[in-house]
Amino acid sequence: MAFGDAEILVFDGACGTNLQRMEIPPSAWNGREGCNEFLNLSAPAVIREWHSSFLSAGATVLETNTFGANAIVLAEYGLADRAAEINRAAVANAHEAIRRHGGAAHVAGAIGPTTKLPSLGHIAFEPMAAAFSEQARSLVEAGADALIVETCQDLLQVKIALVSCFETLDRMRRDVPVMVSLTIENTGTMLVGTDVAAALAAIEPFPVFSIGLNCATGPEGMLSHIRYLCRHYRGRVSCIPNAGIPQVRDGKTHYPLSPDAFAARLSSFVREEGVSIVGGCCGTTPEHIRKLRAALEGAVPARRTVEEKPSLSSLYQAAEIRQEIPPFLIGERCNANGSRRFRDLLLADDAQGALRVALDQQEDGAHAVDLCTAYAGRDEKADVETLARLFAQSVRIPMVIDSTTPECIEAALRIHPGRCLVNSVNLEDGGTNLERVCRLAKRYGAALIALTIHEKGMAMTVEEKVATARRIHDLAVHRYGLRPSDLLIDVLTFTIGSGDASLVDAAAETLAAVRRVKAELPGVFTLLGVSNVSFGLSPASRRVLNSVFLHEAVAAGLDAAIIDAAKVLPMAKIAEADREASLDLIHNRRREGADSPLSAFIGRFSARKTAQEEPGAGKNLPAVPPEEELAEKVVAGEKDGLPDLLSILLSRRPAASIINHLLVPAMRRVGDLFGRGEMLLPFVLQSAEVMKRSVDYLAPFMEKSEREEGRRILLATVAGDVHDIGKNLVDIILSNNGYRVVNLGIKVPAETIIEKARELGVDAIGLSGLLVKSALVMRENLPQFAAAGLRVPVLLGGAALTGKFVARECVPGYPGPVVYCADAFAGLSAMRGIDEGTLSSTVFVEAEETPAMIPGPRGTAVARDNPVPTPPFLGPRHVEGIDPGELFPYVNEQALFRGRWGYRRGKMTAAAYEDLVREKVRPMYEELKARSTKENLLAPKVAYGWFRAFAEGDTLAVEHDGRTWRFPFPRQKDPPHLCIADYFRTGEEGGDVAGFFVATVGEAVARATKELFAADRYHDYLMLHAFAVEVTDALAEYWHETMRRELGIEEDRPAATPGLPSPPASFSRYVVQEYRGSRYGFGYPACPDLGAHAAVFELLDPGRIGVTLTESMEMVPEQSTSAIVVHHPQAKYFSV
Amino acid sequence: MNGIPPGTAFEDLPPGWVCPMCYADKSRFDELE
């Protein structure tokens, strides 16, 4: 039976984790401990025994022990020159095990990712390709039935491996199935940041046998990615997970998923999703595979309905060519021949400036960005290599390689990890160049733009255009093996604005040709360079004509357009008469008794000269000076028309002056308004967005030295803390006030801060952190900074900090100024203090001190005779698929609107505030609810359980599965000296019952939030982040109620209507805990120690709902919460 | 509670006042109606 004939292929289990358990004599390692691949030569019997254990378990495919058997990894053990020998031995070992077993299993040659990430520049294409080619050749020569490129972490590495494998097989004239298996981390992307759609777009053009996932997580964490593949990829889908997410127990790595659970989950992927290749990665034993095989008895992979989505991709994300609202927009401004700004940047070797042009287009809504570096006197190949590398890492939309030179096209295809579009080929030379470029597109999986140009010139008529398109299509598809959907046919656009009599029908011919190509060449896409249509006309009229022509072309079936996305006007913004004049010109319709359509069109626009009169650029108000208009835009958070306004200002003063004398003072006004309570935080963020866009627009017009003015501050969330919203708000405010911010991210150890501060010579350091523990970390960091010789001011901010703590505990540990900043604007004024030389450490004035306030109920002793309810079950359970709609009634809207979003009433009248909520805040909340539902951003899941428990002094002992976990709880230092353990009966009193839960809304929303920050959408970033936090709290409230119901203690439920389930009648009664008992979140005031999570996670195994712990015991994803549930009626919130 | 006489106006609470339930300080409060 051939490899691909079996309906379900069952791969074997782990290599490394199983070899670790076998007895391997030290002599076998020969000083190369860790190089498992060497054992193929030195201990073949051990390898055969390992293979044999999986054959006995029922595996139908063995993977060779060759994960690291390539010259790159083997070089680390001095074995680079023995790669081929090791691979051949590995295949022989697998074959020998199968022969002795008398079975008919197949052998798949495993090709690991090496230890280098080419996307990040660790290694170039050529050396990596050489290593993969050698490995593939030796595996196939030795008789491997298939190749599996597995544990792929970097999209460029996948591409290099596939190009190498298929080239090697071609050369050997062999047809061996090649499988690709990606590793998608807990974060939802591959290590380098690629999501599954981007990976699929880049891989599916290759003739692979299957695409799937292995490693990183258990099956649970793979579900959404596997689903995506099953729904959008026609080939076979593989799933080879770990036995759960590894945990460290007693210093040893432990894989939590049992063989039964592993098999059940994976077989459901086959039966329900249509996966047809399964197996095990790290931590899976022969028992896992035996159970898997048993669970698959009689199974048939589910029938799949596959909807392919031809797409391009960047390193990060995919962009479908068929847009829901066409067309697919390709930004045209990174073209040395088409844009003066870009050309000047290229000539000045300003790669960062060139990147900015690409990022601007991304911001303006382009779906891909065209890059053309061909310019007389420059080295096109060197330029395209520099910029392709930079764009690949920094641009989130895919790249279009615009070159007529095959060497340059190939150079770019070898650097960019995603699926690129090549611009372009034609038949001008009869097909020589077309053949070369088609072969490149096939080899690297790229898509291709084809222009209807033939030996005699450009196709002008419909017939000519369609005939040329057909010739190109037939060559590309039938001779060079491309698919119709790999082609974007450009039937050419000519100007109808020149008055050339031979071109009056050119636009109409183009539109008709688009229609016919779509009808006659099914599957191909169409594309036009739209702005050619108006060449020679005035800027204001070009914009209108281009937009109308684009609209007409889309109606004719156009899929994609090369155009400046920022200049596309929606039809609704174009005056009816302008539109009619444009349509007359496009379709060459002469009105009776009137001038030619061109004269009529030009006549309409002749009076409009300035940019401000262009539709959409300005308001119909008496003109204000542009300086004032810019300030108004910043304060109003108004982004429309910024480029036009800035270009006018640039003609009056230098860019640096616009920033320093107009923008910065306007932002200062925003800060003042915020400080006086007259402007709310969300509006401040909108202003910052205007500032950011303006600065980005102006940056290329400034000297390098000017851009590097402004003090530099380093920002970090301290070690052990994952919260970054506060720090990011500071980043936004400071960087938009002229300071240069180096944002080091979260969980940053003191050593890294010191190193970076020295390296960059920063002027200040800002530390942030939400946790109580983070305040202590800051206190500890400061003496380290001092010892390292740092003296620059340190600004501290975070929820748990107070001025008193900073003054008393932090200031003494550091010789430079240490300043407490209550919010981002306090940080800004501290930076101004540095500018003015007036900054000094925070002091705490004794007289201000008032007696410490200890929250919590006062009074009587805790009753010891409270009856213990009976839980419905004991032990952990996992619940998924909770409808987010159920949770929304439990959202604390006041906390969201006023606390997190910052829509506070402040000095507003009650009526004005009510209006604000009704017209602005609530609609935004409703929209977020709708968006999160539509885009499946919320996936509420809960791990919870009931356990026997009893108090021992201040400790609660919790029993499960014959083991006891102890939770030491802190006691208040002052009366009434509360402690959580007090609410539980002791063993002598008969014991008690405790509930625990870990709840999460999943990571999709965290991902969406991150994307907004990365896109500088500050306002939306804050809104979505806060929304997710409050929905997570709502899930906790909702689940707490569910647990009270399970315990039968919901009798005093706060709902106004007894006996009715959700929604709660009045949420405010939940806020004040008008229900029985309490829940106490770990890390919160009654039990601040996150260390308790270790035990909670052992009891509940929340890995099964995708929640894991960091080394500092914080939960990941961020939108997760945990609690102990206490039923004692006197239990209420308090603080130690 | 905490030595604050009943009936004290919000504005008259001392600067170090915190909510007896949840530890929130004065700046976290916002007038409802």
pLDDT band at A617 (very low <50, low <70, confident <90, very high): very low
Interface test with B, best of A681, A802, A850, A853 (most B CBs within 10 A): A853
**Residue A621: per-residue pLDDT:** 38
pLDDT band at A328 (very low <50, low <70, confident <90, very high): very high
pLDDT(A611) > 60:
no
DSSP result, A929-944 = HHHHHHTT----EEEE
Residue B26 contacts A where some CB pair is shorter than 8 Å: no
| Number of residues that make up chain A | 1136
**Residue B14: per-residue pLDDT:** 74
What ipTM, to 2 d.p.?
A: 0.78
**Residue A1072: per-residue pLDDT:** 77
Contact A531, A564 (CB under 8 A): yes
For chain A, what percent of residues have pLDDT higher than 90? 63
- Write the residue in B2, B28, B32 that is nearest to A853 by C-beta: B2
Angle at A377 between CA A374 and CA A380, to 5 degrees: 35
**Residue A853: per-residue pLDDT:** 55
- Write the residue in B17, B23, B30 that is nearest to A1085 by C-beta: B23
Of A442-456, A694-708, A755-769, A937-951, give the lowest mean pLDDT range: A694-708
Task: Name the CA dihedral angle for A57, A180, A255, A76, rounded to a multiple of 10 degrees.
Answer: 110
Helix (H) or strand (E) holding A797: strand A794-797
- Write the residue in B22, B30, B33 that is nearest to A855 by C-beta: B22
Task: Determine phi and psi for A955, rounding to 5 degrees.
Answer: -110, 145
Q: What is the mean pLDDT of residues A1117-1131?
A: 93
Shortest distance between the Cα of A857 and any Cα of chain B, in A, equals 7
Contact A1135, A1085 (CB under 8 A): yes
* pLDDT per position as a tens digit, A1075-1119: 899 999 998 888 888 889 999 999 999 999 999 988 778 898 889
* pLDDT per position as a tens digit, A382-394: 999 999 999 998 8
Residue A1133 contacts B where some CB pair is shorter than 8 Å: yes
Helix (H) or strand (E) holding A321: none
**Residue A437: per-residue pLDDT:** 97
- Cα–Cα distance, A239 to A213 (Å, whole number): 5
Of A146-155, A282-291, A480-489, A889-898, give the lowest mean pLDDT range: A889-898
Cβ of B33 and A849 within 8 Å? no
pLDDT(A194) > 70:
yes
φ/ψ bin of A711: left (φ > 0), alpha (ψ from -120 to 50), beta (otherwise): beta
pLDDT band at A910 (very low <50, low <70, confident <90, very high): confident
**Residue A647: per-residue pLDDT:** 87
Q: How far from chain centre, in Å, is Cα A510?
A: 39
Would you state the structure tokens that stand for residue A378, as one six-digit string? 């420059």
CB atoms within 10 A of CB A416: 29
For chain A, what percent of residues have pLDDT higher than 70? 95
Residue B12 contacts A where some CB pair is shorter than 8 Å: no
Shortest distance between the Cα of B7 and any Cα of chain A, in A, equals 18
pLDDT(A134) > 60:
yes
Residues of A in contact with B13 (CB under 8 A): none
- Cα–Cα distance, A455 to A464 (Å, whole number): 12
Helix (H) or strand (E) holding A595: none
Residue A910 contacts B where some CB pair is shorter than 8 Å: yes
Position A425: which residue type? Answer: V
Q: What is the mean pLDDT of residues A789-810?
A: 90
Residue A852 contacts B where some CB pair is shorter than 8 Å: yes
pLDDT(A834) > 80:
yes
Cβ of A906 and B30 within 8 Å? yes
pLDDT(A1059) > 60:
no
φ/ψ bin of A1058: left (φ > 0), alpha (ψ from -120 to 50), beta (otherwise): beta
Shortest distance between the Cα of A160 and any Cα of chain B, in A, equals 55
Of A17-26, A874-883, A944-953, A1121-1130, give the lowest mean pLDDT range: A17-26
* pLDDT per position as a tens digit, B12-30: 877 667 676 556 667 667 7
pLDDT band at A860 (very low <50, low <70, confident <90, very high): low
Q: What is the mean pLDDT of residues A941-945?
A: 97
- A1122-1135 burial, b for 16+ CB within 10 Å, e for fewer? bbbbbbbbbbbbbb
Q: How far from chain centre, in Å, is Cα A52?
A: 41
Cβ of A905 and B31 within 8 Å? yes
Residue A1016's contacts (CB-CB under 8 Å, 6 or more residues apart) are A363, A689, A692, A693
Highest mean pLDDT among A266-275, A605-614, A676-685: A266-275
Would you state the structure tokens that stand for residue A561, as one six-digit string? 């357009």
**Residue B33: per-residue pLDDT:** 61
Q: Which residue has the higher pLDDT, A748 or A249?
A: A748
Cβ of B20 and A1085 within 8 Å? no
A286 by Cβ neighbours in 10 Å (0-12 / 13-18 / 19+) ranks as buried
* pLDDT per position as a tens digit, A1030-1054: 999 999 999 999 999 999 887 666 5
**Residue A17: per-residue pLDDT:** 85
Of A147-161, A333-347, A600-614, A778-792, give the lowest mean pLDDT range: A600-614
Q: Which residue has the higher pLDDT, A201 or A457?
A: A201
Closest chain A residue to B4 measured between Cα atoms? A853
| Number of residues that make up chain B | 33
Q: Comparing C-alpha atoms, which of A796, A794, A798, A799 is closest to residue A815?
A: A794
Residue A799 contacts B where some CB pair is shorter than 8 Å: no
CB atoms within 10 A of CB A387: 23
Residue B28 contacts A where some CB pair is shorter than 8 Å: yes
- Cα–Cα distance, A469 to A462 (Å, whole number): 11
Residue A874's contacts (CB-CB under 8 Å, 6 or more residues apart) are A945, A946, A947, A948, A960
* pLDDT per position as a tens digit, A511-539: 999 999 999 999 999 999 998 899 888 88
Residue A1135 contacts B where some CB pair is shorter than 8 Å: yes
Shortest distance between the Cα of B20 and any Cα of chain A, in A, equals 4
**Residue A1060: per-residue pLDDT:** 42
